[in-house]
Amino acid sequence: MKRRNFIFDIFSIGLMSSISTRLKANNLNFSPMVRSISTWKTTEANHKAGSLLDNGTDALNAAVIGVAVEEENPKNTTVGYGGAPDRSGNVTLDACVMNHMGDCGSVVAVENIMNVARLAKDVMEKTPHVMLAGKGAEEFAISEGYKKINLLTETSKKDWEKWLENEEYKPIINIENHDTIGMLCLDKNNNMSGACTTSGLAYKMKGRIGDSPIIGSGLFIDNKIGGAVATGLGEEVVKTVGSYLVVELMRQGKSPYDACKEIVERIYDKHKNHRDMKHLQVGFIAVNKKGEHAGYSIRSGFNYAVYDEEIGNRMEDAPFKMSWKK
């Protein structure tokens, strides 16, 4: 019996090794069961979500609690507290969430409230609406017990004051975490949910909204198929309804890698001869219900955090269309 088990174990190891090799050859990142995945170097946030999922937390709450780690991190100047302000010196935040039932919530242009992903969840669960904006979103937050906080830190204020010397506005490729943390979570009931939260592009025009809080652009979930989130220059993601199309391509049978790659190729083809191409970076990450995950971006430098049951938390570099040097 022991010899038979030994032979079976050796066969199993060899089989899994063969499968892993073939998956890598086809650009599929396969792990026993991906629990959480998030854009950019957000390993602490991703580990928080993954650990919660391991302990039975549902996907939506894990995602919201996970991204809150970055919303509360003053060193991340692209999300939450300490986010870079608009041209007027005001920090405004955007976020959205989507659960496995297809329910969603969103907030845009929110001032004085730090945990806007949780606020988007409250909009979904406690109001008849999908999206609240500006003062309306802030007033709703206060009514729900959120505390008002000055989101502009001294560091972000000094950077803004320095920017005012020239007032030159242009997107910068791969700056810090660019402009977003987007997270997808898969819980023990095999239900998927996601969250996306941002302070938007630094020194944007007052009132500017990118892709992050827009369902179908910054985030989309279909619990039968999988989910996707976007990062990068939001205007270009909005024009292609990027995350929705990634999921739809997976519905048609494409792998997460092929789906992300196709949308990036579409965006690249539209802009390859445009004067602003030198500033353009867009990336996507996706997970399907088979546990396959992938990312792809226009330029090199995009990476993301992955948490699974066996390997734990790690960073992965996304494949890309073209290389980029800082």
pLDDT tens across 159-210, in order? 999 999 987 766 555 543 455 899 999 999 999 999 999 999 999 999 999 9
CATH for 30-322 (3.40.50.2000, 3.30.465.10, 3.60.20.30, 3.40.50.300): 3.60.20.30
H-type helices in 146-226, by residue range? 154-163
Higher pLDDT, 3 or 292: 292
The pLDDT, as a whole number, for residue 28 is: 54
Higher pLDDT, 310 or 204: 204
Phi-psi label, residue 226: left if phi above 0, alpha if psi -120 to 50, beta otherwise: left
pLDDT of 97 over the 60 cut: yes
Angle, alpha carbons 75-76-82 (nearest 5°): 75
Q: What distance in Å separates the CA atoms of residue 58 and residue 87, rounded to the nearest whole number?
A: 39
- Average pLDDT rounded to a whole number, residues 112-125: 98
pLDDT tens, residue by residue, 124-163: 999 999 999 999 999 999 999 999 999 999 999 999 999 9
The highest-confidence range among 99-103, 198-202, 322-326, by mean pLDDT, is 99-103
From 118, 119, 120, select the one nearest 65 (Cα to Cα): 118
DSSP state of 227: E
Q: What Å distances lie between residue 124 and 95, 96, 105, 262, 272, CA to CA?
A: 12, 9, 4, 31, 38
92 with 86: CB under 8 angstroms?
yes
The pLDDT, as a whole number, for residue 18 is: 42
Helix axes 134-143, 116-126, angle to 10 degrees: 80
Give residue for tokens 């083809």: 269
Mean pLDDT estimate for the chain: 89
> What is the token pair recorded at 124?
């979904």
318 with 304: CB under 8 angstroms?
yes
- Chain-centre distance of CA 262, in angstroms? 18
Give residue for tokens 């997107």: 171
Q: How many CB atoms lie within 10 A of CB 65?
A: 20
- Average pLDDT rounded to a whole number, residues 236-251: 96
From 317, 321, 274, select the one nearest 297 (Cα to Cα): 321
pLDDT tens, residue by residue, 201-211: 999 999 999 99
- Domain spans of the chain? 30-322
Q: What distance in Å separates the CA atoms of residue 134 and residue 137, rounded to the nearest whole number?
A: 5
* DSSP per position, 284-304: EEEEETTSEEEEEEEETT-EE
Q: Which residues are known to be catalytic?
A: 180
The pLDDT, as a whole number, for residue 87 is: 94
The pLDDT, as a whole number, for residue 279 is: 81
DSSP state of 146: P
Q: What Å distances lie between residue 151 and 81, 140, 141, 148, 226, CA to CA?
A: 5, 18, 15, 9, 34
Confidence band for 115, pLDDT divided at 50, 70 and 90: very high
